[in-house]
Amino acid sequence: MSCSAWALTMIGYMIPGDRLIEENKYRCCNHPEKDTKFCPECGKPMWKTIKELPDVENLARELDAACSFTADVNSRDHYEGNMLVTTFYFGFEACESSHYDAAPMLSIPSLEEIEKCKSEVCSWLKAQGVFEDADFDKFGIWTLTIHG
């Protein structure tokens, strides 16, 4: 039996996942779409709505496209009681390591790079409607660990 752990350092904003939940509509069968509540061929509902978190990789692509630097998004899950809670981090990856016995160096970004990250990511999060004023205090250096 082996155990592995790795760490990822991100500089950016932490946003609670519950603000990012979106409602997506899915077809319930593969018969042709009709303007009825239920499918006349199989009787299943035509559509179902599911509340779900957005795909992290899609978010990362969208954020990266909107920023002048290489932006990234990561998420982490943890349990509060029996509730699964997801937290998202928007910014850039500063360092990643799977060597728990080593101390990888984190290059300190310039203040200009940090300011660029802070303002561009903030603008993008505001445009998505998920940024609240209190989130200005949630900009920082985040060390995310995973144990597998």
Cβ proximity to Zn ion: between 34 and 99 the closer is 34
Strand-pairing partners, residue 144, are: 8
41 binds Zn ion (CB under 5 A): yes
CB of 25: closest distance to Zn ion in angstroms? 15
Is residue 33 a contact residue for Zn ion (CB under 5 A)?
A: no
Distance of closest approach, residue 34 Cβ to Zn ion, in angstroms = 9
Residue 42 Cβ, how far from Zn ion at the closest point, in Å? 3
Total number of residues that touch Zn ion (CB under 5 A): 5
DSSP string, the chain: ----EEEEEEEEEEEEGGGG-EEEEEESSSSPP-SSSB-TTT--BSEEEEEEPPPHHHHHHHHHHHSSS--EEEEEEEEETTEEEEEEEEEEEEEEE--TTS----PPPPHHHHHHHHHHHHHHHHHTT---GGGGGGEEEEEEEEE-
Binding window for Zn ion (CB under 5 A); candidates: 27-35, 50-58, 82-90, 108-116: 27-35
Q: Which is nearer to Zn ion, 47 or 136 (CB)?
A: 47
Piece in contact with Zn ion (CB under 5 A), picked from 10-18, 40-48, 92-100, 120-128: 40-48
Q: Which of 39, 67, 73, 130 binds Zn ion (CB under 5 A)?
A: 39
Among positions 14, 29, 56, 114, the unique one binding Zn ion when judged by CB under 5 A: 29
What is each CA distance from 82 to 79, 88, 93, in whole angstroms?
6, 19, 30
Which residues of this protein are in contact with Zn ion, per CB under 5 A?
Answer: 29, 31, 39, 41-42
